[in-house]
């Protein structure tokens, strides 16, 4: 498969990984940029992955209120108070708060979803899959595919970013990790809506 230099450059800017590794990841992902990011992350090659183990003890609590009807508070952590005062970081926090207001996630990440919620969701999805009349041996794959959709609808980091739906919130944060040079983590959030 022929991978264009422009696509490799875009992946390099997104991940901070070298040219040859980006090209190999794009080949493995058959030219799909998002899949190539995943390939690099699995190999631990992206700059964000290298910084992910570092502690985040500083940060900001950001807020966003939409038309006086929806309000969000979000805690986004970084490594130092220097970065917490950085305008790029502050913009990121504001963007995340706005995204939460618009997209109404229930959890920060997949790992935050409780076993009881997962079991109930899988039970519902299995019943829906059986209702299609498909063979029993493919029902598990159908359920897992629908679980991916469940995560992308309910987990903040898996959701398509509201300002650029071609990337996830996780990818948007990774771009800022690369740009700023520190680990950045969304710790928690709360979303209020009038009447709820």
DSSP codes of every residue in 67-121: TTTEEEEEEEEES-HHHHT-HHHHHHHHHHHHHHHHH--SBSSGGGS-HHHHHHH
pLDDT of residue 46: 57
pLDDT of residue 45: 58
| Coil, helix or strand at residue 163 | coil
| Mean pLDDT, range 111-137, rounded to an integer | 86
Taking the C-alpha atoms of residue 74 and residue 190, their distance in angstroms, rounded to an integer, is 7
pLDDT of residue 52: 55
- Quote the DSSP letter at residue 155: B
Taking the C-alpha atoms of residue 83 and residue 79, their distance in angstroms, rounded to an integer, is 7
Q: What is the pLDDT confidence band of residue 193, given thresholds at 50, 70 and 90?
A: very high
Locate 181 and state its tokens. Answer: 């040079």
| Mean pLDDT, range 114-118, rounded to an integer | 90
pLDDT digits (tens, 9 = 90+) for 20-76: 778 888 888 888 888 888 887 777 655 555 555 567 778 999 999 999 999 999 999
pLDDT digits (tens, 9 = 90+) for 73-98: 999 999 888 989 999 999 999 999 99
Locate 175 and state its tokens. Answer: 């771009």
Taking the C-alpha atoms of residue 111 and residue 54, their distance in angstroms, rounded to an integer, is 19
CA angle 84, 89, 95 (to 5 degrees): 130
pLDDT digits (tens, 9 = 90+) for 137-149: 888 888 888 888 8
Q: What are phi and psi of 3, to 5 degrees?
A: -105, 125
């Amino acid at each position: 498969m022929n991978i264009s230099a422009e696509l490799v450059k875009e992946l390099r800017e997104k991940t901070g990984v070298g040219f040859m590794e980006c090209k190999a990841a794009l080949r493995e992902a058959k030219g799909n940029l998002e899949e190539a990011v995943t390939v690099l992350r699995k190999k631990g090659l992206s700059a964000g992955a290298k910084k992910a183990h570092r502690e985040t003890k500083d940060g900001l609590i950001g807020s966003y209120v939409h038309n006086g009807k929806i309000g969000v508070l979000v805690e986004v952590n970084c490594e130092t108070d220097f970065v917490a005062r950085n305008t790029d970081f502050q913009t990121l926090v504001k963007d995340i708060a706005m995204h939460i207001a618009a997209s109404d996630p229930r959890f920060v990440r997949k790992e935050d979803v409780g076993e009881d919620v997962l079991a109930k969701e899988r039970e519902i999805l299995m019943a829906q899959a059986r209702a299609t009349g498909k063979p029993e041996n493919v029902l598990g794959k159908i359920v897992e595919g629908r679980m991916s959709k469940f995560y992308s609808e309910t987990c903040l980091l898996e959701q398509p970013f509201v300002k650029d739906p071609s990337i996830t919130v996780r990818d948007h944060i990774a771009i800022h990790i690369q740009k700023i040079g520190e680990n950045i983590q969304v710790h928690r959030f709360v979303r209020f809506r009038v009447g709820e």
